[in-house]
Chains A and B, each alone.
Chain A
Amino acid sequence: MSKTQDERGRAARRGQPFLDEPEAKPFWAKLREHRLTAQRCSSCKKIFTFPPQALCPHCLASDYEWVILCGKGKVYSCVTYHRPWHPAYQDKIPYNVSLIDLDEGGRIVSNVVDCPPDEVRIGMAVEVVYEDLPEYTLPKFRPVKSA
């Protein structure tokens, strides 16, 4: 097993992202600057699905660019964890985990914050907020306040 694979395994066990994954490195770097980005195919112009990958999942073209997303999306589904599977979540339960469909395309796992977990709803309009941790920044989402 290469060192890289081994490190990836250990990072996953800790419940942390793998910041040096070649395809995903720009994603994590841009989050540090509070920019949510995704890959867009230079050929078919579609936004890639997550996780990032080397060739377009829609047409297999190999050229793409990282584009800055507007940071808005909608909750596709939402759940509330009542049991901590990881010691770090012992004092966080109950907490929300949601699948967020981003406006430009693509879906990510995240948390809806600034909202009690049992008030998160499918279809809820949300916008990105950034949680800065010592080693990386996580994109999270809060409900969009109606004007």
Chain B
Amino acid sequence: MTNLSGKCAIVGMGETTVGKRPDATTNSLHLEAIKACLEDAGIKASQVDGLLTNQPLNDSHRSYAVKLAHMAGINAGFATDLALGGATPIAMVQHAVMAIEAGMATTVMCVHARKRATPDPTPGHSIRRGDEHWEEPWGHFAAAGGHAFAAQRHMYEYGTKSEDLAHIAVSTRKHASLNKNATLRKPITIEDHQQSRMIVAPLHLLDCSLESDGGGAVLVTSVERARDFPKRPIAILGMGQHHPHFSLLDAPTLTTLGGKKSSEMAYRMAGLGPKDMDFAEIYDCFTITALITLEDYGFCAKGDGKDFVKDGRIGLGGELPLNTHGGLLSQAHLEGQLHITEAVKQLRGNEVEPERQVANAKVGIVSGHGGSLAMHATLILGAL
């Protein structure tokens, strides 16, 4: 088996403005993200020969990737929709690497957009997560409920408290306050978190991520071709996935998730470990998700997340700057697409507001997480 570490690189990235985009549609946000990515990479749509996307949440129709490729003028030899929820953006990059190494494409656009803050006038049917009819009859409706189950277990097994989770919300908001393209930029305190209303106890409002409009894209090619692109290429060093359950009903545990094996796979491929990471962009649909993932990724022992997230350790200038863009909690929830673009910007080194640039960022880790805490994907990226 060939080790694909460092064989491919991200050579372009695009982000739309995020937040409320009442005039946009799911389609227009995807196209905006593709356009921004092509401009960043300095190439034309006709030079792209692969496209990967997520099934649109508002319109779960077939082969959206093919439709989108043609809407954007991309004549794709490789295209498909992936469907791993919030693990999809990372999985797209992984599939792009595999397609390039298999000789099925040379230059692959990975794009995801969603329209959840304002109504999407485009006709369609919203996608189902699956198995809702075994949850909703008892009033269990929301992602917040599933993650509250995990938070409750973590509190029971390891003594984690709501105040501990607050540190993640506060630090993430501080980073968002420095990001011009973030939805919520007003700093918050631990007390604000504790006083925010309960959504699904033990999770407060400020444990929960945003509903957003926006899109993002990255362009993947081989490292050989990467040298022809204008921006500093960002190497794909490690990749992993793990999906240890589908439903809360068959989850072996809710306090160690797919991130453990997924990160082990990525570390092994990259020949690196948690201590080598200069920053982490960790999927934070809820504060508890980030806490569990930090533990699963080996940044601290299982159960020690409650201490790890304190004392500025996860802030800019700390031991492991976490979600330097403001994450899903405060920047925007585009299912982690912007965790990838943010990592690319940090590693390029001159593309974010200077006050939120991680000094000497050489290697970073990115996580994706989807479904009922079920799906997980990991990327390790490095500056070339």
Give A contacts to B, CB under 8 Å. Answer: 8-9, 11-12, 15-18, 21, 49-51, 57, 76-83, 85-86, 89, 92, 94-95, 97, 99, 106-111, 117-118, 122-123, 138, 140
Query: How far apart sit A79 and B154, CA to CA, in the bound complex (Å)?
Result: 13
Pairs A–B under 8 Å by Cβ, sample size 13: A12-B132, A12-B136, A16-B133, A17-B134, A51-B131, A77-B153, A79-B201, A80-B198, A82-B197, A92-B139, A94-B198, A95-B139, A97-B145
Which chain B residue lies CB-closest to A18? B133
A90 smallest CB distance to B (angstroms)? 11
In the complex, B248 has a CB within 8 A of chain A: yes
Q: A79-B201, A109-B138 are in contact. Are A50 and B249 (CB under 8 A)?
A: yes
Q: Do residues B202 and A79 form an inter-chain contact, with CB atoms below 8 A?
A: yes
Query: How far apart sit A89 and B249, CA to CA, in the bound complex (Å)?
Result: 23
Q: Do residues A77 and B141 form an inter-chain contact, with CB atoms below 8 A?
A: no
B139-172 interface (Cβ within 8 A of A): 139-142, 144-145, 148-150, 152-153, 156
Q: Do residues B134 and A80 form an inter-chain contact, with CB atoms below 8 A?
A: no
Query: How far apart sit A111 and B141, CA to CA, in the bound complex (Å)?
Result: 13
Instruction: Kindly identify which residue among B133, B140, B142, B249 contacts A11, using a CB–CB cutoff of 8 Å.
Output: B133
Q: Mark B193-226 against chain A: 1 for CB-CB distance below 8 A, else 0.
A: 0000111111100000000000000000000000
Chain B residue numbers with a CB within 8 Å of A11 are 133
Chain B residue numbers with a CB within 8 Å of A106 are 249
B288 smallest CB distance to A (angstroms)? 12
A101 smallest CB distance to B (angstroms)? 10
Query: How far apart sit A110 and B202, CA to CA, in the bound complex (Å)?
Result: 18
Query: How far apart sit A79 and B254, CA to CA, in the bound complex (Å)?
Result: 14
A95 smallest CB distance to B (angstroms)? 6
In the complex, B186 has a CB within 8 A of chain A: no
Instruction: Kindly identify which residue among A8, A49, A81, A95 contacts B133, using a CB–CB cutoff of 8 Å.
Output: A8
Query: How far apart sit A34 and B89, CA to CA, in the bound complex (Å)?
Result: 46
Chain A residue numbers with a CB within 8 Å of B201 are 79-80, 82, 94, 117-118
Other contacts beyond A79-B149, A83-B144, A122-B156: 11, CB < 8 A: A12-B133, A12-B136, A15-B136, A16-B133, A77-B150, A78-B149, A81-B141, A95-B139, A97-B138, A97-B145, A109-B249
Which chain A residue lies CB-closest to B197? A82
Determine which residue in B125, B128, B135, B247 has the highest number of CB atoms from chain A within 10 A of its CB, and name it. Answer: B135
Q: Mark B101-121 against chain A: 1 for CB-CB distance below 8 A, else 0.
A: 000000000000000000000
Which chain B residue lies CB-closest to A117? B201
Query: How far apart sit A83 and B201, CA to CA, in the bound complex (Å)?
Result: 10
Q: Do residues B152 and A79 form an inter-chain contact, with CB atoms below 8 A?
A: yes
Query: How far apart sit A17 and B132, CA to CA, in the bound complex (Å)?
Result: 9
Determine which residue in A17, A78, A97 has the highest number of CB atoms from chain B within 10 A of its CB, and name it. Answer: A97
Q: A12-B128, A51-B131, A85-B142 are in contact. Are A107 and B153 (CB under 8 A)?
A: no
Chain B residue numbers with a CB within 8 Å of A82 are 197-201
Instruction: Kindly identify which residue among A49, A92, A118, A138 contacts B137, using a CB–CB cutoff of 8 Å.
Output: A138
Which chain A residue lies CB-closest to B131? A51
B303 smallest CB distance to A (angstroms)? 16
Query: How far apart sit A57 and B199, CA to CA, in the bound complex (Å)?
Result: 34
Chain A residue numbers with a CB within 8 Å of B135 are 109
Which chain A residue lies CB-closest to B134? A51
Q: Do residues A15 and B141 form an inter-chain contact, with CB atoms below 8 A?
A: yes
A71 smallest CB distance to B (angstroms)? 16
Which chain B residue lies CB-closest to A139? B138
Q: A9-B128, A79-B148 are in contact. Are A51 and B140 (CB under 8 A)?
A: no
Chain B residue numbers with a CB within 8 Å of A97 are 138-140, 145
B372 smallest CB distance to A (angstroms)? 11
Which chain B residue lies CB-closest to A122? B156
In the complex, B250 has a CB within 8 A of chain A: yes
Q: A12-B128, A89-B139, A99-B248 are in contact. Are A77 and B254 (CB under 8 A)?
A: yes
Chain A residue numbers with a CB within 8 Å of B136 are 12, 15-16, 86
Q: Do residues B132 and A86 form an inter-chain contact, with CB atoms below 8 A?
A: no
Query: How far apart sit A11 and B148, CA to CA, in the bound complex (Å)?
Result: 25
B233-268 interface (Cβ within 8 A of A): 247-250, 254
